[in-house]
Amino acid sequence: MSHYRIGLIVPSSNTTMETEIPAMLLRRMADIPGETFTFHSSRMRMQHVNPEELKRMDVDSDRCAIELSDADCDVLAYACLVAIMCQGNQYHKKSEQRLRQTTAANNHLAPVISSAGALVRSLHEMGAKRISIITPYMKPLTKQVVNYIEETGIEVIDSISLEVPDNLEVGRLDPMNLVNVVDDLKIDGTDVVVLSACVQMPSLPAVQIVQDKIGKPVVTAAIATVYEILKTLGLETYVSNAGYLLERKPKPSISRA
């Protein structure tokens, strides 16, 4: 029996990270005997999704990393994509390195991933060159997310902003509405659809339905985070019914014949 402790660095108003990530890994536990996961969270204060609150919140991530390293977690996941992406190009690398050093200074060195870094790296690993995304953010924040992704060399050909400023309300959105929202998203010529570029916007129940509907790979920030958690732990990157990235079959780069 192999047991893994997953540390989650979570905005205080986030109610989805601790729902969807455990849901995926518990689903995996049902399929793969011999693995168990437990989940341990520390929270950063944030109520409204705006640049000022996001920057203040990010400073608090160091405290969270120390608290979770006290629990000797096997991997830490910083779960706020836009808090990273609003800080400027490649900030996920600086954040992940700083938090890892923080755990080392606390004598419990742990690998650290971020949902922002996980999404960008996963898209590149999939070979995605052109994507479309859905976010819950106000349009100026969505633009920052688009710019951040494009600065890594991936073109965002379309985005939909649901414009929900209250983070609690984002967590209350019905994920099944995304099955219809995607109809308004331009997907011709895209390699991948990012159904939720936010770990607070619920999406997991809709992912496989949307992927089957549009016939293109579908990923979310939460799915990319789980993918990197599993990779970091040296485990097979498989979760059933969670879209292309977590399928059991080999996942070569997307063909654009």
The span from the CA of 97 to the CA of 108, in Å, is 15
Closest CA to 61 of 12, 6, 2, 126: 12
Compute how many other C-beta atoms are within 10 angstroms of the C-beta atom of residue 48. 12
For the question of residue 86 being annotated catalytic, the response is no
Query: For residues 242 and 204, is the Cβ–Cβ distance under 8 A?
Result: yes
In the block, which residue shows the tokens 């996942």? 251
Q: Are strands 2-11 and 35-44 parallel, antiparallel or unpaired?
A: parallel
pLDDT at 162 over 60: yes
Q: In this predicted model, what pLDDT tens digit does every residue of 72-124 receive, in sequence order?
A: 999 999 988 878 888 888 889 999 999 999 999 999 999 999 999 999 999 99
The span from the CA of 152 to the CA of 130, in Å, is 12
Please report the pLDDT score of residue 187 as a whole number. Answer: 97
The span from the CA of 175 to the CA of 222, in Å, is 13
Q: Which run of H or E residues covers position 113?
A: strand 112-114
pLDDT at 257 over 70: no
For the question of residue 64 being annotated catalytic, the response is no
- Of the candidates 64, 73, 80, 86, the residue annotated as catalytic is 80
At 111 the three-state DSSP class reads coil
pLDDT at 241 over 60: yes
> What number of H helices and E strands is found in the chain?
11, 8
Distance of CA 180 to the CA centre of its chain: 22
Of all residues in the chain, the percent with pLDDT exceeding 70 is 95
Please name every residue paired with 7 in a beta bridge, in sequence order, or none if there are none.
40, 76
Q: In this predicted model, what pLDDT tens digit does every residue of 119-154 receive, in sequence order?
A: 999 999 999 999 999 999 999 999 999 999 999 999
The span from the CA of 133 to the CA of 219, in Å, is 10
Closest CA to 21 of 41, 3, 35: 41
Please report the pLDDT score of residue 12 as a whole number. Answer: 82
Please give the mean pLDDT across all residues of the chain. Answer: 91
pLDDT at 68 over 70: yes
Q: In this predicted model, what pLDDT tens digit does every residue of 12-63 receive, in sequence order?
A: 888 999 999 999 999 999 999 899 999 999 998 776 666 677 777 777 888 9
Q: In sequence order, which residues have a C-beta less than 8 Å from that of residue 97 and are 6 or more positions away?
A: none
Query: For residues 220 and 245, is the Cβ–Cβ distance under 8 A?
Result: no
191-222 burial: b if 16+ Cβ within 10 Å, else e: bbbbbbbbbbbbbbebbbbbbeebebbbbbbb
- Which pTM value belongs to this model? 0.93
Of all residues in the chain, the percent with pLDDT exceeding 90 is 76
